[in-house]
């Protein structure tokens, strides 16, 4: 039974050594000492062949049980040591590795376009101005010469609050606020969000972004308006862009025009985007109506000016060839990270 005692002693010594092991190296040393190629337990294998036949069943069972016990003890010791080493920040930190770079965010494409537009107009002497999104009816409609029966004043087109205020349907109220608080000359652009009761689709939404411009001074003409829009388009779309003006009607301006830019998709040759016309409608504009000037306390006999408005969403869609307006508000990182 001397062999059985050796087996039991090896298991006992290994259990004590593994319990005292503090790291993976100590566990590996116990493994090599016991079941390694030259280990004490491995050396008992050849001796099993010399056991008397009547004792072989008992000794064989004891040997296999001891082997399984040693394997279990080693596995438990490895797990314990690994867990303790992983919980130590000092052992987890490798100061020789490069630091983890924090991912840099991006500005939303609409924000990029809005800032680019403002910077272009600033270089032409305009000042970027903002105003509240919740407005008075006077600033949004009355001061802008919109009659009481104008369709845009309907609750089907505009969001009203119970107290009579509304969500602005354009950024023109910023122009009104500026003229009420400042005497000519005035040269501003007003970027911001607007709201209308539209059914959302690829080109419409209940909220959108505009940039409107206003220039009030003496001797301001349509030629100044056209040159301003041409200078903007040349910087925003490229030097080969052209501007075309078509007669239109807006309560705020008289005369009023629709401003078209040559299609950036086809260069004016005609394509599905511009409906084969070679032109894309980009702005509404005109000379400020004398009634508007009177509503804000200006004298139309001594000053005049022009105003224009463009959709930031539309400019962004044209410049980046985006077909669906809804992509701007869906928070899809795969789309937004392209800009």
Per residue in 207-216, pLDDT tens? Answer: 899 999 999 9
When computed from its CA atoms, the radius of gyration of the chain, rounded to whole angstroms, is 40
Residues 73 and 114 in one domain: no
Residues 187 and 263 in one domain: yes
Residues 117 and 211 in one domain: yes
Residue 186: band (very low, low, confident or very high) from pLDDT cuts 50, 70, 90: very high
Residues 166 and 307 in one domain: yes
Residue with tokens 């010791």: 77
Average pLDDT, the chain: 87
| HSE value, Cβ hemisphere, 13 Å, CA-based, for 49 | 3
Tokens read off for 284: 């509404």
Residues 321 and 246 in one domain: yes
- Does the pLDDT at position 1 exceed 60? no
- Does the pLDDT at position 86 exceed 80? no
Q: How many CB atoms lie within 10 A of CB 95?
A: 4
- Could you give the CA distance from residue 132 to residue 192 in angstroms, rounded to a whole number? 9
Residue 67: band (very low, low, confident or very high) from pLDDT cuts 50, 70, 90: confident
Task: Provide the percentage of residues in the chain whose pLDDT is more than 70.
Answer: 97
What is the CATH number for 237?
A: 3.30.930.10
- Could you give the CA distance from residue 117 to residue 315 in angstroms, rounded to a whole number? 10
What is the reported pLDDT for 337?
85
Residues 17 and 150 in one domain: no
Q: Is residue 237 included in any domain, yes or no?
A: yes
| Boundary residue ending a domain (43, 60, 92) | 92
Residues 291 and 220 in one domain: yes
Residue 89: band (very low, low, confident or very high) from pLDDT cuts 50, 70, 90: low
What is the reported pLDDT for 35?
83
Q: What tens digit of pLDDT does each residue of 142-168 get?
A: 999 988 888 888 888 899 999 989 999
Residues 134 and 80 in one domain: no
Closest CA to 188 of 236, 267, 122, 280: 122
Q: What tens digit of pLDDT does each residue of 257-303 get?
A: 999 888 877 777 887 777 888 888 889 999 999 999 999 999 999 99
Q: Is residue 101 included in any domain, yes or no?
A: no
Give the chain's domain count.
Answer: 2
HEC sequence for 258-317: EEEEECCCCCCCCCCCCCCCCEEEEEEEEEECHHHHHHCCCCCCCCEEEEEEEEHHHHHH
HEC sequence for 204-260: CCCEEEEEEEEEEECCCCHHHHHHHHHHHHHHHCCCCCCEEEEEEEECCEEEEEEEE
Residue 54's domain comprises 2-92
Q: Is residue 43 included in any domain, yes or no?
A: yes
Residues 117 and 255 in one domain: yes
Sign of CA dihedral 253, 258, 261, 265: positive
- Does the pLDDT at position 93 exceed 60? yes
- Could you give the CA distance from residue 40 to residue 68 in angstroms, rounded to a whole number? 15
Mean pLDDT computed over 133-143? 93
Q: How many CB atoms lie within 10 A of CB 283?
A: 24
What is the reported pLDDT for 87?
54
């Amino acid at each position: 039974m001397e062999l059985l005692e050796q087996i039991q002693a090896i298991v006992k010594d290994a259990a004590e050594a593994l319990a005292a092991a503090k790291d993976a190296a100590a566990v590996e040393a116990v493994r090599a000492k016991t079941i390694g190629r030259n280990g004490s337990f491995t050396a008992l294998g050849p001796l099993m062949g010399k056991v008397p036949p009547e004792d072989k069943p008992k000794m064989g069972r004891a040997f296999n049980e001891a082997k399984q016990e040693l394997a279990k003890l080693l596995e438990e010791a490895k797990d314990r040591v690994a867990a303790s080493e992983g919980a130590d920040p000092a052992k987890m930190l490798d100061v020789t590795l490069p630091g983890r770079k924090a991912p840099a965010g991006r500005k939303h494409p609409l924000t990029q376009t809005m800032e680019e537009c403002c910077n272009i107009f600033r270089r032409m002497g305009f000042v970027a101005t903002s105003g509240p999104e919740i407005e008075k009816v006077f600033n949004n409609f009355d001061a802008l010469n919109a009659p009481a029966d104008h369709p845009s004043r309907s609750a089907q087109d505009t969001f009203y609050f119970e107290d009579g205020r509304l969500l602005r349907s354009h950024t023109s109220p910023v122009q009104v606020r500026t003229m009420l608080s400042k005497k000519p000359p005035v040269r501003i652009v007003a970027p911001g969000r607007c709201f209308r009761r539209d059914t959302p689709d690829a080109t419409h939404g209940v909220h959108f972004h505009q940039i409107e411009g206003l220039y009030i001074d003496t001797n301001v003409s349509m030629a100044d308006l056209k040159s301003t829009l041409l200078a903007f388009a040349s910087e925003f779309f490229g030097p080969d862009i052209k501007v075309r003006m078509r007669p239109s009607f807006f309560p705020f301006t008289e005369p009023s025009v629709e401003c078209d830019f040559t299609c950036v998709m086809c260069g004016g040759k005609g394509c599905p985007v511009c409906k084969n016309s070679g032109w894309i409608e980009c702005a509404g504009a005109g000379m400020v109506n004398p009634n508007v000037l009177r509503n804000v306390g200006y004298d139309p006999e001594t000053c005049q000016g022009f105003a224009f408005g463009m959709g930031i969403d539309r400019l962004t869609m044209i410049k980046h060839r985006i077909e669906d307006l809804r992509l701007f508000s869906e928070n899809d990182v795969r789309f937004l990270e392209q800009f």
